[in-house]
Structure 1
Amino acid sequence: MTTVIAGILMLGVLVFVHELGHFAVAKWCNVKVLRFSLGFGPKLVSKQWGETEYLICAIPLGGYVQMLGEGSGEHGEEAELTPEERRRSFADQKVSRRLAIVSAGPLMNLILPFLILPISFMSGVQMPTYLEEPAVIGHVIAESEAAKSGFMAGDQVLSVNQRAVESWNQTNKAFVNSAGDLLRFEVERDGKLLTLEIPEENNSLEGMQALGLLPMQQARVGGLADNMPAEKAGLQVGDLILQIGDQKIATWYDLKVVIQQYGGATVPLQLERAGQTISVELTPEQRDGEGDFLIGIAPMQQTEVKRYGFVAAFEEGAKRTWELIELTVVFVQKLFSGSVSAKNIGGPITVVQVAGQAAQTDLAAILSVLAFISIQLGILNLLPIPILDGGHILFNLIELILRRPVSIRVREMAQQVGIAMLLMLMVLAFYNDIVRLLS
């Protein structure tokens, strides 16, 4: 429940920023704003302040700013207005002003990351150390795209689609413009250069690990589950597992295979602790008497906190913001071209879940997730789909070219099509969210 509440609050911040953009520019253009609402549906809280009613509504999946002379209804562009009201009507503003008002919402979402990511970098970003290390493969997941393409543990990735890479971080970034395309890797194996290919249908947008390629990972204990064999046997956080039974353990990924071989039998472990080798015995267990045998440990993830000075933080924040914008634009482009599966679309459940999990960590994580979702919200709203801001921008640009407004009838029909498209997109997004939750 805490995760859900935290996620809704973070989403509310982004909706507020978006609607504040519309509201502020409308006020600057002297357009009368009737309502400023966070959420849709029944009112929860309502306050009349000046000429504007401020609301918080029951469905926290968006918001709106209602202006005089906008759309249809009693206060719409066909309403009977006094000369003073007509002067302050949205419909009677110059096209340039209407474009500014409509564009302000998504632009605020795109500007926000430039302001909050520097704070994240100044406060300190916790980064896994392997991201800056050479992209040496520690494990290849069985039956994954990488396994089918011939990758093996120990391979070092040197380039992706002829783009040289020197670290895991660079390798993941190299995927951005290649999403949905054939991936051609140059790898070094035992001193020899090989070329391995992964077909167009791949999960490259989610990075190396989604392809089945995992980094080198020591078999060092990072966490212990309560009342499980490892805790009962006296293992401690920081212990390095060297051997189980008569089998040497080189990486974390060896553990599962070896433990399953011994099953429920009591087995000796050799550990390194504070420079000394010690031996313990434990008996792996199954949950509810079925499934894999477990000993109840989690890996230790080596991380480092990077902090930046004021100027460097803004430089790094701007760089990261452009990377996220590029990633989102490429995803949208690849999605509409069919190069990326629609299974990658996430809906409100995923957004709330991710935001909620980040909200329970630290300031840097909260701001990073806010920035990423804000960019997605901004770009989504710029799509030229009627009912979205991008659709309104399109109609205003057409008016600018034709020197006459698109008829209300045409706009209403287009908005009905837009609503249908948006509903189908939401159904797909909710379906994907539910499938992810169940899996």
Structure 2
Amino acid sequence: MADVLGSVWWMIVSLGVLVTFHEYGHYWVARRCGVKVLRFSVGFGRPLWSRHGRNGTEFAIAAIPLGGYVKMLDERETEVPAGERMAAFNNKRVGQRIAIVAAGPIANLLLCIALLWAMFVIGRQDYSATLGRTTGMAAAAGLASGDRILDVDGRTVATWGEASMALTTAAMDRQDARLRVQDALGNARTRVLPLSSLPAGFDERTVPVQAGLLWQFWLQPAQVDSVVEQSAASGVLRPGDLILAIDGQRVESADQVAPLVQQLGERGGNGMIEVERDGQRLALELRPHRAAAEAGPAAPRWLIGVGFAQGQAPAYDARQQYGPLAALPAAARETARLAGDSLGMMRRMLTGHASVKNISGPITIARVANASAERGLDWFLYFLALLSLSLCIINLLPIPILDGGHLLYYLIELVKGSPLSERAMATGQYLGLALLAGLMGLAFYNDILGLVAR
């Protein structure tokens, strides 16, 4: 219940901040162009709070916190007194109308840069693109435990998230990825990951795993947390022992212990377990016990009777931080990178190279907002920046009813020398509403599907 309330709260906070900046962009430029603004509303529906400014604008916070609007004086919507006609939006030059409409998305773009600047000044903690274990395709390509990915196809990556995105992009484009890595000894080398050989219809959300890459921070050390009394490990292993190998096979993480114990039990007889205890490496002998008989024809399970601590997040091993001046170009570069990734994903979905499952709705936004807030201010600023940039890009799409649709109308007006007919614009609005309704329905469907899959 706490997660649900937290998700709803942080979504309201996030949308409130982003919508306020977006609408303020429209409002600020409209006022500079001499347009009378009747209402500045954050949210839709009945106002919960409102007041009037000196210039006559009503500022309001409404009940439905899923957007906002700036209502301007316009002869197409209401009768305008003769003395105020020059303050009506529709009577302004087309260049001014373009500036007013574009100001909202531009405000979100500037906010994205400002948020990333603040994030870099504070310093964002993350995990490096260091491999904990490799299997299958990755192991065959020569990638090994301890390798740190430095760049993918010439694109520098500082974190596992950036590396995952670059690998996913290459996989969606059906291209092999050229990786420059640094091994545990500091030696740099190049490896080619044949992502083009992934099967058709692969899950784009798990490309690194399908390629055989497991990030180091995913892997929990095989450090014994508890020992079951009268078990195979009782009197042999102790809490705090770090398991290094079982029957001669190296153990790099806790998830490898059970399969290796199973193999040892099926072989029969005693086996050697190597552990690190108090700084010393020890080789200890034990024999797995067969689990109590279970219903059905399933093969017997073999156990040694140890438990590992669960849910302990490893310490961050990467930090992106700059001084106040250096953070500004870093924020601009990060904004350009995120914009390129977003536009590239849209292009791939339109051409069929990416799944429409990548479209998310308010449920996913709420969950990510809550998770980001729990991780700290640096991650919440990053989430807000990404959401602000997404709002900018979406609003600039040439879909009637969005800012981009209005900009399209005004660009056509510039070319033909006169506004589009009311009928043409109305038709466009209906088409835009239908398209947005379809996109929202798909987003909700993906959200619900994601919840069911959990």
Q: State how far apart, in whole Å, the 1-side matches of 2:316 and 2:150 are.
A: 25
Residue 274 of structure 1: CA displacement?
5.3
After superposition, the C-alpha distances for 1:165-193 in whole angstroms (9 at most, x for unaligned) are 7876574464476463112135799x997
The correspondence of residues 38-437 of structure 1 with structure 2, limited to 5 A, is 38-50=42-54, 51-69=56-74, 76-77=75-76, 79-129=78-128, 131=129, 133=130, 136=131, 138-140=133-135, 154=144, 163=154, 171-172=163-164, 174-175=166-167, 178=170, 180-186=172-178, 196=194, 197-199=196-198, 201-202=201-202, 208-209=208-209, 213-216=213-216, 219-220=220-221, 235=239, 240-243=242-245, 248-255=250-257, 257-258=259-260, 271-272=275-276, 275-276=279-280, 295-298=308-311, 300-437=314-451
The residue type equivalent to 2:58 in the other structure is E
Q: Report what 1:73 is aligned to.
A: none
Q: Report what 2:12 is aligned to.
A: 8
The residue type equivalent to 2:73 in the other structure is L
RMSD across aligned positions (CA): 4.3
Which of 22, 25, 31 in structure 2 is aligned with 1:27?
31
After superposition, the C-alpha distances for 1:104-138 in whole angstroms (9 at most, x for unaligned) are 11111111121121211111211213x2x5xx572
Q: Which has the larger radius of gyration?
A: 2
Q: State how far apart, in whole Å, the 1-side matches of 2:326 and 2:445 are.
A: 42
SS of 1:368's partner is helix
Go from structure 1 to structure 2 and tell me whether the alpha carbon gap of 1:354 and 1:253 turns closer, same or farther (over 3 Å shift).
Answer: same
The residue type equivalent to 2:60 in the other structure is L
SS of 2:41's partner is strand
Q: Are 2:222 and 2:253, in contact at CA under 8 Å, matched by a contact in 1?
A: no
Larger RCO: Structure 1 or Structure 2 (Cα < 8 Å, ≥ 6 residues apart)? 1
Residue 397 of structure 1: CA displacement?
0.4
Q: Which runs of 5+ in 1 are unaligned?
A: 70-75
The residue type equivalent to 1:250 in the other structure is E
SS of 2:326's partner is helix
Identity among equivalent positions (%) equals 34
Go from structure 1 to structure 2 and tell me whether the alpha carbon gap of 1:222 and 1:342 turns closer, same or farther (over 3 Å shift).
Answer: farther
Q: Are 1:11 and 1:352, in contact at CA under 8 Å, matched by a contact in 2?
A: no
SS of 1:404's partner is coil
Go from structure 1 to structure 2 and tell me whether the alpha carbon gap of 1:259 and 1:114 turns closer, same or farther (over 3 Å shift).
Answer: farther
Q: Are 1:223 and 1:300, in contact at CA under 8 Å, matched by a contact in 2?
A: no
TM (norm. structure 2) is: 0.76
Q: Are 2:224 and 2:238, in contact at CA under 8 Å, matched by a contact in 1?
A: no
Q: State how far apart, in whole Å, the 2-side matches of 1:222 and 1:417 are.
A: 60
Residue 301 of structure 1: CA displacement?
4.7
Q: Report what 1:72 is aligned to.
A: none
Q: Are 2:399 and 2:405, in contact at CA under 8 Å, matched by a contact in 1?
A: yes
The residue type equivalent to 1:249 in the other structure is V
Q: Are 1:109 and 1:374, in contact at CA under 8 Å, matched by a contact in 2?
A: yes
The residue type equivalent to 1:254 in the other structure is Q
The residue type equivalent to 1:63 in the other structure is G
The residue type equivalent to 1:215 in the other structure is W
SS of 1:183's partner is coil
The residue type equivalent to 2:251 in the other structure is I
Q: Which runs of 5+ in 2 are unaligned?
A: 182-188, 266-270, 296-300
Q: Are 1:139 and 1:152, in contact at CA under 8 Å, matched by a contact in 2?
A: no
Q: Are 2:141 and 2:192, in contact at CA under 8 Å, matched by a contact in 1?
A: no
SS of 2:375's partner is coil
Q: State how far apart, in whole Å, the 1-side matches of 2:68 and 2:210 are.
A: 34
